[in-house]
Amino acid sequence: MGLNHYVTLGRSGLRVSPLCLGAMTFGLEWGWGADPSTSRRIIDHYLDHGGNFIDTANIYTKGHSEKIIGDHVGASAKRDRCVIATKFMGNLYAGDPNGGGAHRKAIYQQLHNSLRRLQTDCIDLYWMHFYDPHTPIEETMRAVDDLVKAGKVRYVGFSDTPAWKCTQAHMIAEFNHWTPLIAIQIEYSLLERTVEAELIPMALELGLGVCPWSPLKGGVLTGKYGKDGTAATAGGPTPSKPGRGEWVTRHLTDRTMTVLDALRAFAAQVHVTPAQLALAWVQSRLGVTSTIIGCRTVEQLHDNIKALDAHLMPEHFAKLDELTRPTMPFPQSFLPGTTPVMQGGTTINGVRSELWPLAPKTDGERY
């Protein structure tokens, strides 16, 4: 399997690679990442191996990420073969309350600047970056529908938004014959599985593609960081701290170290790296379409692509599930116990149940 084993995204005909190239690392403005020259090599390596799906956002590296992509892809013959996704929501203008958000004025201004930086006349997939509690969702969906009708946007998706709001937006769009959502972008990894409570089931029910971000939890699941938050550098024994700081180090817990021990053992059995196995786990999850991978070097990208050929054994799935099973909120934590009450000791669609102990045993026990 390779990057050119394309899949359709949600209930659309849009063909994308099973691994999406995340561009949050393009540019050094946030203190970590890849310089423009390295970013261009990463893009070329990805495209040369059959990849076609590039994901960025208006705010990544203060807009430089979009500009790097535009300078290298948007102004070239490579543009047509690429599925370019970017996001609206983030505010790049201090003191301007309309500089960000999901209202019509902000969306139009953000799109104009993204098109300029990307040097293209249309965004293939336009994500709402996260939930805006200040804007009616009807306004957002009507605005993006107008952009689709104007030929400025082709498809629409939501990132980092509660399941109830995604569902509301999707159904309002369908009811009004506006452009519906085709995908959601969510954090998903062995260390972040709470999305299995609401977001994944919602995506399956509505036919939305799932694009996980941070499948390696900011590099934690590569195994390169010790519990003290340092990693050995390639140039020598001097340890280095993760560029994303506390966002990474707060996950270096005893539980994480136990998961990493299992990943290392399983990876050795199937001759891959822990990172490749962690990526393969995410890509194998129900509903997942295209997993977003970020990298700072061509070598990291090349190693990540190899995850498409990594295969977990049944016992690996079982152990990793045991080690990382999330604590579900109500009512997901309550509903499994209702199966015997509903099914009366029968098997339905392959789901077995015991007889509910409080149920009537004979007809004479029923009122």
Q: Which pLDDT does position 92 carry in this prediction?
A: 97
Q: Are residues 99 and 223 in the same domain?
A: yes
Is residue 93 in a domain? yes
Q: How far is CA 153 from CA 8, 49, 127, 149, in A?
A: 18, 27, 10, 8
Is the predicted pLDDT of residue 232 greater than 60, yes or no? no
Q: Are residues 340 and 288 in the same domain?
A: no
Is residue 330 in a domain? no
Domain residues for the domain of 340 are: 335-365
Q: To 5 degrees, how large is the angle CA 123–CA 18–CA 287?
A: 95
Is residue 149 in a domain? yes
Q: Are residues 184 and 256 in the same domain?
A: yes
Is residue 240 in a domain? yes
pLDDT in tens, 147-203: 999 999 999 999 999 999 999 999 999 999 999 999 999 999 999 999 999 999 999
166 close to 158: Cβ distance less than 8 angstroms: yes
Average the pLDDT over 253-270 and give the result. 94
Is residue 2 in a domain? no
Q: Are residues 255 and 355 in the same domain?
A: no
Record the tokens describing residue 19, joined without a space.
């691994």
The Cα–Cα gap between 15 and 12 comes to 8
Is residue 329 in a domain? no
The Cα–Cα gap between 214 and 220 comes to 10
Q: Which pLDDT does position 228 carry in this prediction?
A: 66
Mean pLDDT of the chain: 94
Per-residue pLDDT band for 75 (boundaries 50, 70, 90) equals confident
Q: Are residues 218 and 359 in the same domain?
A: no
Report how many domains make up the chain: 2
Give residues with Cβ within 8 angstroms of 106, minimum separation 6.
88, 89, 98, 99, 100
Is residue 169 in a domain? yes
Q: Are residues 117 and 254 in the same domain?
A: yes
Is residue 1 in a domain? no
Q: Give DSSP secondary structure letters for 112-134.
A: HHHHHHHT-S-EEEEEE-S--TT
Catalytic residue list: 60
184 close to 199: Cβ distance less than 8 angstroms: yes
Residue-wise burial string across 273-301, b where 16 or more C-beta atoms lie within 10 A, e elsewhere:
bbbbbbbbbbbebebbbbbbbbbbebebb
CATH, residue 228:
3.20.20.100
Q: Are residues 150 and 265 in the same domain?
A: yes
Q: Are residues 263 and 150 in the same domain?
A: yes
Q: Are residues 248 and 351 in the same domain?
A: no
Q: Which of 161, 163, 169, 92 is nearest to 132 (CA)?
A: 161
Q: Are residues 256 and 344 in the same domain?
A: no
Q: Are residues 232 and 309 in the same domain?
A: yes
Q: Are residues 271 and 349 in the same domain?
A: no
